Amino acid sequence: MFLSNLSIKRPVVATVMMLSLVTLGIFSFRRLAIDLMPDIEFPVLAIMTELPGASPESVEREVTKKIEEAINPISGIKHVQSTSREGLSTIIAEFNLEVKINDVSQEARAKINGIRRELPEGMKEPVIQKFDIQAFPIVSLAVHSHTLNPRDLTTLVDRKIKRRLESIPGVSKAKLVGSSAREVAVNIIPARLEALGMGIDEVVYGVQTENVNTPVGRLNRGGTEMPLRISGKPKSVEEYPSMVIGRRGSQPITLGDVADVRDTVEEQRSLALVDGEPAVAIDITKQTKANTVETVDAVKLAVE
């Protein structure tokens, strides 16, 4: 009754009030935040455990089953799915919607720590991750070249484009996909290795101990102090064959005596294509509280 009486007796006041409400609504609507995906949590935990060198059967028997038995008593657990592969155990635990994922994550970690002595000694520490939709890439870019080889294209994208994108406000990280990074490959020649009576572990140890910069102390001069170190890392691929990796009596054995050293690219573990041609892609992930739409617009502006 109040609104109807006001509209009849004071039409000007009612009109001004309505116009004010409409103006306020339009102003609020224009300032309303827009996001591609809402900030929600799914009650899902992923537990990944590495056991280097173990067969899938050993991983299943010694790691997966024991961790499953440890987390099964957690309250609110709905479904557990596991996969055992060579050297890797993956367990996906789904909980009821009302469960707080942070609490069950801490409880799962405590349960696993309680059976740590029952797990293999060579096993790495289990990694417990929450299913976070914010961790998925919000945009993916691809760079393709007809003139640069894959290694040079990867270097260009990594040093120029990737670093520029990571400096954009709202961007958490930029991950390369289909990259071909440089690698110094050491191909062991079994016949030479056997003739010298050496093992692979001896070659690996020799390379690890020689290919390192060793700090040796400090140099004080006047009021300044400078660190000193021995530079043991080769500056070029041509210096690797002359690296001493062991001795037989008084005779030094170099890396070139037992292996063929080549300047190449690392084994490709991912692939990106543009019109069927190999390329280097960049998956961009936004920061936790950043707005997806605004971050994507900023990335588009930087690329253009």
Do 150 and 272 sit in the same domain of this protein?
yes
In a domain, 27, yes or no: no
- Return the structure tokens found at 177: 């996909």
| CATH code, domain carrying 287 | 3.30.70.1320
Give a yes or no: residue 32 inside a domain.
no
Question: Residue 245's domain is classified under what CATH number?
Answer: 3.30.2090.10
**272 and 177 co-located in one domain:** yes
**How far, CA to CA in Å, does 134 sit from each of 34, 98, 167, 288?**
15, 20, 19, 7
pLDDT at 64 over 90: yes
Considering only residues 76 and 34, tell me which one the structure prediction assigns the higher pLDDT: 76
Range of the domain at 115: 44-133
Residue 8 CB coordination number (10 Å): 9
Check: CB of residue 178 under 8 Å from CB of residue 280. Answer: yes
Residues 83 and 191 placed together within one structural domain of the fold: no
Query: What is this structure's pTM?
Result: 0.65
The alpha carbon dihedral of 201, 206, 209, 210 has a sign of negative
Q: Does any domain span residue 6? A: no
Number of compact structural domains in the chain: 3
**Domain shared by 55 and 117, yes or no:** yes
- Asked if residue 243 and residue 207 are part of one domain, the reply reads yes
What pLDDT band is residue 282 in, cutting at 50, 70 and 90? very high
The predicted-structure confidence for 81-127, as pLDDT tens digits, reads as follows 999 999 999 999 999 988 888 888 999 999 999 998 888 888 899 99
pLDDT tens track for 28-55: 887 776 666 666 778 899 999 999 888 9
Q: Which of 214, 210, 207 is nearest to 231 (CA)?
A: 214
Question: What's the rounded Cα separation, in Å, for the pair 33 and 298?
Answer: 16
Examine the domain organization and report whether 60 and 196 are in the same domain.
Answer: no
Asked if 145 and 280 count as a contact pair (C-beta separation under 8 A), the reply is no
Residues 197 and 238 in one domain: yes
> Does residue 297 share a domain with residue 169?
yes
Close Cβ partners of 233 (under 8 Å, ≥ 6 residues apart): 211, 212, 213
Under 8 Å CB-to-CB from 120, ≥6 apart: which residues?
51, 54, 62, 63
In this structure, of 202-206, 211-215, 241-245, the range with the lowest mean pLDDT score is: 211-215
| Mean pLDDT computed over every residue of the chain | 86
205 located within any domain: yes
Same domain, residue pair 114 and 188: no
Q: 249 and 190 share a domain?
A: yes
